[in-house]
Amino acid sequence: MDIHQILKQLPHRYPFLLVDRVLEIDKGKSIRALKNVTINEPFFTGHFPHRPVMPGVLMLEALAQAAALLAFDALDTSPTDDMVYYFAGIDNARFKQPVEPGDQLILHVELLRMKAGIFKFKARADVDGNIAVEAELTCAMRKVV
């Protein structure tokens, strides 16, 4: 899935779109995607000017966006204007190494279960084969009124 297909599936836009490409998707099971981390990212001007590091919450957000792509694919649907995909929980988050400009985050997300619009995922992001972050994510797909 290239960036054009991702833009059709996710409502996020610059500077908050954090998935550049889907490398592999196993329908209803898992997704492998990537996020290229560049010095041009707006958060690096303040986090931190002397040693730029990608904020951990944004790594989790990148994983959640990959998880959303997996969820929409599993349901054979696309988001609509009256649908929102929210974080509902983050469990056992562990940050193993800093992510810096020039790194490439490989996002791995596995769908553990889905029921009534609630999704549970096991997720991790690697840099050069080393785990940068891992967590269990719970997300909810809801219609807005």
Q: Clarify whether 108 is annotated catalytic.
A: no
Q: What is the distance between the alpha carbons of residues 39 and 53, in angstroms, rounded to a whole number?
A: 10
Q: What is the distance between the alpha carbons of residues 69 and 88, in angstroms, rounded to a whole number?
A: 16
At residue 99, φ and ψ (nearest 5 deg) are -115, 125
Strand ranges of the sheet holding 30-36, from the earlier edge strand across to the other edge: 21-26, 30-36, 104-115, 118-127, 130-143, 83-95
Query: Are the beta carbons of 37 and 49 closer than 8 angstroms?
Result: no
Q: Which of 4, 12, 47, 50 is labelled catalytic?
A: 47
Q: What is the distance between the alpha carbons of residues 27 and 56, in angstroms, rounded to a whole number?
A: 28
Active-site residues: which are they? 47
